[in-house]
Amino acid sequence: MSSSDSPTSLIISKSTIFPDLPSAIADLPLSVSDLPMLSCHYIQKGLFFPLPPSPIIPLLKSSLSQTLSRFPPLAGRLTTYPTGHVHITCNDAGADFIHASAPSLSIRDVLDPTDVPDCVKEFFAFDRTVSYSGHHNAILAVQVTELSDAVFIGCSVNHAVIDGTSFWNFFNTFAELCRASSSSLSPNENYNYTKMTITRQPDFSRNSVLISPAVLRVPAGGPKVTFNVDEPVRERIFSFSREAIQKLKAQTNNKKWSENGDVLLSAVEILGKQSNDPSQNKDNGARVTSIIENWSKNSNANSKMTAEISSFQSLCALLWRSVTRARNLPSSKTTTFRMAVNCRHRLEPKLDAFYFGNAIQSIPTYATAGELLSHDTRWVRGVVEDWERDPRVFPLGNFDGAMMTVGSSPRFPMYDNDFGWGRPMAIRSGRANKFDGKISAFPGREGGGSVDLEVVLAPDAMGGLETDSEFMHYVSNSTTYIHISKPYSEMTKTTVRHQLHHTSISRPNELNQYKMIYQSESAKMTCTTYLYLINHG
């Protein structure tokens, strides 16, 4: 990542937010999936939003207080018992709330550079803070940074307390309560929000096979991260459109890709993922499964169904091959590809879809550089089976120069966070847990199966990846930023066409798509200048 000696943001205020209701939850023991995360940094993820038409800090503080009542562990602290067992004490000690300002920064200053700029680290609290420090630090910190034309809401959460699934459930609930309690972006005192039922209730039960009497012995002063935080790395966001990923998937499965036929295939694949995703509505799951089964019967009546490599698996196979090639490793060198996998629905008995805590395992797969590069992406079929057979926890890092670790997920509902003044415009993360070979997968803003990969590599390897023709063939072109100087009610196709003309883009066939994007924004969006990201790949 690029460096900068002078800070670009200024802390205006820092306060402690307490739950609006006292906790009734007993101490929660850390599980065998939580404990290994004590040596990891706090999770740091956040979202850019358009500037709201009025001040939001009081509203966000009030909404966070309500959210903490639904997530008591996030207002607690870690406690180690005399026996050595570590627990979350839900003592209502509170979460940190930071209000910051960066008036010299625009969103383009953050999103335009090829590499993620160093200023992003200033949008988060607990920079490179190890989770074991949750014994005395807050478990959660929310920082709101106001840029000249956008606002960034960043959350830093103790990784021994929460994984990606739980993190985004909290973030979604925070946004949901804020949106519900806003009336012209001010709290509505006529409604009792303590009785409001949130969409996704977290499950704090601790009666699964993940709870163990074993004690994790830690060195004096607590564990440290297992990688060199000072190692020079570059960080880039690579975007992949739905069309590009479907072409890659077809090539991986050795099928011919057609644009028209892909529409139905993509819909079926999305429905299939939703039917297997425990976060989806249970009633809808049966309906979705029925749709897929009927489609499969009709379209494959005379053909034998075979297991298919998924879109994301195809993308991971491409990434593994391309990074290995960029590292210029000897053909005999063993490479390792690790993926963090949600095991909530893989355990017996299954965990609740919104089980709160870590419920992930690292699935490692190995291959020599020569084996990996002598096959194409179809070779990943056996890799997928290996991931499912051998789940293990993992230390973070690239210990032999040939490792990759993929975290996060394009299925996480990151762009579902509407606090009341519009959908997010972009996702960014802090410096937490980043090393040569760390990859984070995010959904693309346009949805529909698009994916953004946050790639962290040594400078030489990143340079090799940027010139890798196979990899870059599937990467979408640069992002264009369009400033719309009218509220949506005044937008027309002529307005959009004019904006496209003056940004040297000529894609009139997609004007309806842009119109649909505008319509999805909050009806309250009336700011005079609004930023839209249109990926043209």
Lowest mean pLDDT among 145-159, 284-298, 425-439, 495-509: 495-509
Task: Give the separation between CA 264 and CA 300, rounded to whole angstroms.
Answer: 14
**Domain limits of the chain?**
10-227, 311-474
Distances (CA, A) of 276 to 92, 279, 286: 36, 9, 10
Q: What are phi and psi of 94, to 5 degrees?
A: 100, 165
User: Which string of DSSP letters, residue by residue, matches 145-189?
Assistant: EEESSEEEEEEEE-TTT--HHHHHHHHHHHHHHHHHTBSSSSB-T
Q: Which fold has domain 311-474?
A: Chloramphenicol Acetyltransferase (3.30.559)
Q: What is the CA radius of gyration of the chain?
A: 23
Task: Give the separation between CA 526 and CA 39, rounded to whole angstroms.
Answer: 45
Task: Give the separation between CA 41 and CA 405, rounded to whole angstroms.
Answer: 15
Task: Give the separation between CA 74 and CA 71, rounded to whole angstroms.
Answer: 6
Mean pLDDT rounded to a whole number for the chain: 80
Confidence of residue 191 (pLDDT cuts 50, 70, 90): low
**Helices (H), ranges, 192-347:** 242-252, 259-276, 282-299, 311-326
Q: What DSSP state is assigned to residue 83?
A: T
Closest alpha carbon to 158 in 214, 96, 67: 96
Task: Give the separation between CA 121 and CA 229, rounded to whole angstroms.
Answer: 14
Q: What are phi and psi of 21, to 5 degrees?
A: -135, 145
Q: What DSSP state is assigned to residue 245?
A: H
Lowest mean pLDDT among 31-45, 298-312, 346-360, 518-532: 518-532
Task: Give the separation between CA 169 and CA 444, rounded to whole angstroms.
Answer: 19
Distances (CA, A) of 321 to 136, 324, 325, 375: 43, 5, 6, 9
Confidence of residue 309 (pLDDT cuts 50, 70, 90): confident
Q: Which fold has domain 10-227?
A: Chloramphenicol Acetyltransferase (3.30.559)
**What type of residue is 68?**
L
Task: Give the separation between CA 189 and CA 181, rounded to whole angstroms.
Answer: 8
Whether residue 84 has pLDDT greater than 70: yes
Which tens digits make up the pLDDT trace of 361-380? 888 888 888 776 666 555 43
Helices then strands, counting H and E runs in the chain, come out as 13, 17
Distances (CA, A) of 236 to 115, 317, 337, 363, 454: 5, 19, 19, 24, 6
- What is the model's pTM? 0.79
The pairing of strands 403-408 and 28-29 is: unpaired
Name, of 3-7, 103-107, 215-219, the range with top average pLDDT: 103-107
The proportion of the chain whose per-residue pLDDT surpasses 90, expressed as a percent, equals: 58
- The H-or-E segment that residue 144 falls in is strand 140-147
Task: Give the separation between CA 339 and CA 297, rounded to whole angstroms.
Answer: 33
Lowest mean pLDDT among 122-136, 226-240, 511-525: 511-525
Give, rounded to a whole angstrom, the gap between the first and last alpha carbons of the chain: 25
Task: Give the separation between CA 393 and CA 35, rounded to whole angstroms.
Answer: 10
Task: Give the separation between CA 426 and CA 133, rounded to whole angstroms.
Answer: 30
Whether residue 8 has pLDDT greater than 80: yes
Task: Give the separation between CA 324 and CA 327, rounded to whole angstroms.
Answer: 5
Which tens digits make up the pLDDT trace of 322-340? 999 999 999 999 999 998 8
Mean pLDDT of 256-265: 48
